[in-house]
Amino acid sequence: MNRQAQSSAVEKFRALHESGCFVLPNPWDVGTALYLQHIGFEALATTSAGFAFSRGKPDGRVALDEMLAHIGEVVAATPLPVNADFLNGFADEPENVSTNVKLCIATGVAGLSIEDNSGNSAAPLYEKNLAVDRIRAARKAIDASGVPVVLTGRCEAWLVGKPDPFRVALDRLVAYAEAGADCLYAPGVKKPGEIADIVKAVAPKPVNVLVSGFNRELSLSQLADLGVRRISVGSGLAAVAWDAFIRAARSIATTGQFDDAFANAVPFAEINEIFLKRS
């Protein structure tokens, strides 16, 4: 993606955060990205877990170069704004986060997220001051690039099992907002009252909420009423695809029959037609 196209995508992405509430679905490859564009979504986000699973790896075990190549491939496939799930920036120290954020910006993304999951089971969240410095370093890298991509600050308190995750996340998200994050995100929150409190605490900056199996009862209209501006689904769509694949494969392996396994398969022509239009 050239600089002009990236600037246009960034402008569109920022506008989506200014009012209302939109869904930011997470494809894990070019095909799923193109299909989401085909059915009318206005922006996309990568999923580290969905991509890792497609490569036969656990989440968090994809190398930086491999992840950058994947992000760039998705960006190049569609004119839609793309937000990169950039994990912890593939670094611990702020200066290295800054270096890697510059590489991520160069893929053509319209936004990226930096999380505070350290990957260390003994201390699964970076110490707060270090976590804030990491967000600040990402902000400086973005500002220095001249491309105002949307920086999302993520607190992983729920996902790493911290005691009282709401209080931890609320405190950190406020600090990340003050350090320069444009959007705030605490994957795992599901109680409407806690979501509303996070929205209020970081206002007027927008909040992203993850909706997946654990809180699938939440709706777009309900989250919009709570003041949420952005909804992502993380690895949710990838998990649905894996569920269908696993069910069909197990059915064939255990029964030797194919009728149930392929009963709900999407017709070949329906999928092929979408990609024919692109060729």
Looking at the fold, whether 271 and 154 belong to one and the same domain comes out as: no
**What is the β-pairing status of strands 111-115 and 150-154?**
parallel
Instruction: Give burial (CB, 10 Å; 0-12/13-18/19+) of 270.
Output: exposed
Sign of CA dihedral 230, 234, 236, 238: positive
- CB 153, CB 135: distance < 8 Å: yes
Q: What is the pLDDT of residue 277?
A: 83
| Percentage of residues of the chain with pLDDT beyond 90 | 98
How many domains does the chain divide into? 2
- Give dist(CA 279, CA 264) in Å, integer: 27
The pair of three-digit structure tokens given for residue 131, joined into one six-digit string = 């976590």
pLDDT digits (tens, 9 = 90+) for 42-87: 999 999 999 999 999 999 999 999 999 999 999 999 999 999 999 9
- CB 212, CB 234: distance < 8 Å: yes
Q: What is the pLDDT of residue 113?
A: 98
Task: Please count the residues of the chain.
Answer: 279
pLDDT digits (tens, 9 = 90+) for 102-161: 999 999 999 999 999 999 999 999 999 999 999 999 999 999 999 999 999 999 999 999
Domain that includes residue 267, residue range: 236-279
Across 110-125, b (16+ Cβ under 10 Å) vs e yields bbbbbbbbbeeeeebb
Looking at the fold, whether 111 and 159 belong to one and the same domain comes out as: yes
Q: What is the pLDDT of residue 131?
A: 98
Looking at the fold, whether 76 and 23 belong to one and the same domain comes out as: yes
Looking at the fold, whether 155 and 265 belong to one and the same domain comes out as: no
pLDDT digits (tens, 9 = 90+) for 209-249: 999 999 999 999 999 999 999 999 999 999 999 999 999 99
